[in-house]
């Protein structure tokens, strides 16, 4: 067993201390949805709004994480699961630091998102479903990925030849057909205010 000699080290400062200093309740805003749904765009806008309010945040984005921390992973099911596992561990560290962390990942498997939820305290995981139909995402195709997937150039592409399991009971649903980027972001901000993650 690789980790039999590892012992968790308790720190004198804890999550509550750090959160109190920042005057906010830390959490993970987990944006999930198909490629092209608007996850990253909305998450960016939410972070901008929180920053303008003087809140302490950090945004973890799928492509950015795969350019560094997870650059060794592919897009088969096992690697997708490991991708989310690593992201969850990083997000938990940010929560422990008292930060509101935003994540924008397709994260196609319901069980993996549920696993992240179970790994943190109750109320610290907020699932944000960016509910945009496949045909709309494909018509947007901002990175040209759907076109490549349809041509067989990208295997295991979510929505084409790999399943996406939509959330059953997300805390927040954003319908981007009927809501603008700002309206979607404001809905997230309103949720955080109403439930005491932020004030004012």
- Maximum pairwise Cα distance, the chain: 55
Q: Choose, from 107, 119, 180, 184, the residue flagged as catalytic.
A: 107
Query: Is-catalytic flag, 107?
Result: yes
β-pair partners for 28: 101, 125
Do residues 188 and 143 make contact, with C-beta atoms less than 8 angstroms apart?
no
Closest CA to 125 of 138, 134, 135, 115: 115
Count CA within 13 A, CB hemisphere, residue 125.
Answer: 20
- Is 88 in a helix, a strand, or coil? helix
Catalytic positions, written as ranges: 107
């Amino acid at each position: 067993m690789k980790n039999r000699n590892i012992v968790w080290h308790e720190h004198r400062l804890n999550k509550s201390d750090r959160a109190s200093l920042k005057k906010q309740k830390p959490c993970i805003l987990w944006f999930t949805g198909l490629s092209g749904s608007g996850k990253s765009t909305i998450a960016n806008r939410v972070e901008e709004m929180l920053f303008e309010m003087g809140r302490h945040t950090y945004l973890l984005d799928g492509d950015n994480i795969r350019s560094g921390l997870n650059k060794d992973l592919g897009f088969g099911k096992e690697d997708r699961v490991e991708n989310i596992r690593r992201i969850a561990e990083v997000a938990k560290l940010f929560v422990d630091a008292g930060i509101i962390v935003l994540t924008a990942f397709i994260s196609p498997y319901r069980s993996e998102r549920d696993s992240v939820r179970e790994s943190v305290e109750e109320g610290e995981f907020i699932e944000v479903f960016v509910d945009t139909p496949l045909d709309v995402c494909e018509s947007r195709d901002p990175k040209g990925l759907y076109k490549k997937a349809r041509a067989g150039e990208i295997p295991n592409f979510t929505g084409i030849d790999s399943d996406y399991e939509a959330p059953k009971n997300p805390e927040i649903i954003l319908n981007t057909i009927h809501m603008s980027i700002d309206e979607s972001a404001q809905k997230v901000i309103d949720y955080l205010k109403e439930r005491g993650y932020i004030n004012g």
